[in-house]
Every structure is written in C-alpha cells, then in structure tokens.
Amino acid sequence: MTQDLNQMREHMLTAIAAASGLDALDACRVEALGKQGTITALLKTLGKMTPEERLVQGPQIQGLREAVANGIAERKATLERAALDARLASETLDMTLPADAMPAGTIHPVSQVMDELAEIFADLGFAVATGPEIETDWHNFTALNIPETHPARAMHDTFYLQQGIDAKAAGTADEKTTFSLLRTHTSPVQIRTMLSQKPPIRIIAPGRTYRSDSDATHTPMFHQVEGLVIDKGITLGHLKWTLETFVKAFFERDDIVLRLRPSYFPFTEPSVEIDVGYTLVKGKRVVGGAEPDGWLEILGSGMVHRKVIEACGLDPDEWQGFAFGCGIDRLAMLKYGMDDLRPFFDGDIRWLKHYGFSSLDVPTLSGGVGA
C-alpha cells in the first residue's frame, strides 16, 4: 500500500508540474481531488478499515492529499504569475502621447450647497463653526438633554468606539473627556461654541455626521447643517423670520410658504418642524408657490432648552436662543432634482459630470446662490 501511494504521489505531482495552463491544472485537480477523484476514493475506504489499518494508512492517504493540494496551489500561483507577466509585457501605454482631453473636475453638489449656505447665513451675521467628528458622550447627548434611555443612544443607531466601550466597562470613563462615538449630529458644535464663547452667538455648523442607517434617502455618513442663536430677548418669531429668509434665498423664490408644526426634540422647547410648500409641475414637486399643492418637511427647530443653556454655564433667565438643523444632502436633492442619496457617495464620474458644478460657479447673493 505504501509503495502504491508513493508511486501515485510521484505520478500526480509530475502531471501537475507538466500542466501547461490553468485548464490543464484544473483537470489534474478534478482527477485527484474531485468527487470521483482517485484520492477522494481512497479517503472513502478509511471507513471500512479496521482501527489498526486506519491508524497506519490514514496518515499516509492524508499526506498524499495534502501534497497534491499544495502542488496544485503552487503550480496555480506560478501559472497566474506567468500570465500576468505576459499581459504586462504585451499591454503598453505611451505616457508621452498628448491626452485626448484635458481632465475636468467638478464641484460636488454637497460642497456647492455648503458654500451656498455659508453665503446666505454670512449675510445674516452668522459665522461658520466646526468641531470634532469623534465626540464624547457628554457633548453629543448629555449636554443636549438627551436622557440615558433615549433611542438615539442605542447601539443600532450610533457608532460607538471601542475605546469608549472599554473605558465604560472598566469604570474609568469620563463622559466629558472620553471620546466614545462618531457624532450623530452637529449639535455638539453648538455646545462647544457656547462653552468657549460669550454670548451673543450666531453660528451655523455644517459637517459630516454618522448614523447606522442606509437606504435611498439615508446613508451611514451624511452632511448636516445646524444653526444657533443665543442672545437676550430671542423669541420664536426671530426663528421663523430667519428660516423664511434662508429658504427664500436658498431656493431663490419669493413665493415660499412655510408651515410650522409642533414637534419634540430633547434639546429644544418648544420644538417645531418646518414644512415648505410645493407645487406639482409635470408630476414633479417644485418648491414654491403661493398656493401649495402639498408640503415637504425640511427642517427641525425650536427654542434652546433651558437645561442645555444651563449645561453650558449660562443663565437661562438672561440668555435665550433658537436652534435649527437640516440635512445638506437632502437640501441638494430637493433643489437640484436628485431622487437617490446613495450616488452622492459612489464616486461615479458620470453622475458627478451631470450634477457637479464648475469651479467658477461661486455662490454669491448678488449673482445668485444657485448655479
């Protein structure tokens, strides 16, 4: 038996080494290791052997199988490397030839809308504020009056970092300094601004945010802009006027109608959802119209909660404010006619050429923020 196995090994390894291509090599594999292969048939005989025979012949048959499998893998790697070398030798590109067309990049719609927002709110006296995308639990949730039991804190909605999870498990986490998660909104920028600046405050906070969600209108990473005003004597009327002015400037229409609906957010009280009226034009919804055919929700907003103001070391009896937030990606979809959010992040050059903007299309209030 041992002599037969040695002869079989030598015969199979010789055939494998002589295989001139991948097809021939695969034929060797099937003949030896396939369902009806020679080695497979030998493995099936192990069940009929006595324990003593199996103890002797089992390792020999397994050794044959391993040797043949290794020989096939080595020969396959050699053949694939030779095929790649031959392809690289035959496919050449003359880098000295002139290009058929000059490269032409485009401005991504998200970048364009961010510039439009900055231009509009700068005219209203707002500064642009930024903050870290990796945040602490305190800045992202606690300071914003979001309770421990709130669904937004759940693992299925928030991307938590292992270092924060480990710190909590060890009991060494300081919620104000331990960076524990990817921010789920840009509201932590508002908290950091109120902690570092004295009122009055007028800022917008655009940037990337992260939530565990993905479909045609949601992505795990998306862009959001939030606004914050902290001053004395601020009322809901200031919020309504600011948002009306912004929406009219952004969509470049004076016949914009807004509707405020009562809502709930932990960090604002009272809270309102902002709907914008739209009209149907050839079956498509177009923002604007003195007599809307329907309503689209575009913003969440409200008066900053007293507890949020207190958490930032300010006296809520002296200082009041309003805040608002919306998705930049959705604003771009609504203004420029995209119907799916996922291509925003696919990097498809055809999509970018169609929806992108020229580098010269710089938004200005005098020339029009839209391109």
Known binding site: residues? 269
Count of CB atoms situated within 10 Å of the CB of 296: 15
Read off the tokens for 270: 């009272």
Q: Specify the pairing of strand 201-210 against strand 127-128.
A: parallel
Residue in the block written with tokens 């002139």 = 98
Residue in the block written with tokens 């906070």 = 205
- Omega within 30 of 0 (cis) for the link into 98: no
**Whole-number Å distance between alpha carbons of 130 and 141:** 17
Pinpoint the alpha helices (H) of the chain. 2-18, 22-33, 38-44, 51-90, 109-123, 137-140, 162-170, 187-196, 236-251, 306-311, 328-336, 349-355
- Asked if 258 and 247 touch (Cβ cutoff 8 Å), the reply is yes
Q: How many CA atoms lie within 13 A of 230 on its CB side?
A: 27
Read off the tokens for 83: 């095929």
Q: Distances from the Cα of 65 to the Cαs of 14, 58, 252, in angstroms?
A: 15, 11, 74
With b for 16 or more beta-carbon neighbours within 10 A and e for fewer, the 269-283 pattern comes to eebbbbbbbbbeeee
Query: Which residue numbers belong to the known binding site for Mg(2+)?
Result: 269
State the DSSP code for 218. Answer: B
In the chain, the amino acid numbered 89 is A
**Whole-number Å distance between alpha carbons of 251 and 370:** 8
Closest CA to 45 of 3, 85, 18, 5: 5
**Whole-number Å distance between alpha carbons of 137 and 161:** 11
- Omega within 30 of 0 (cis) for the link into 200: yes
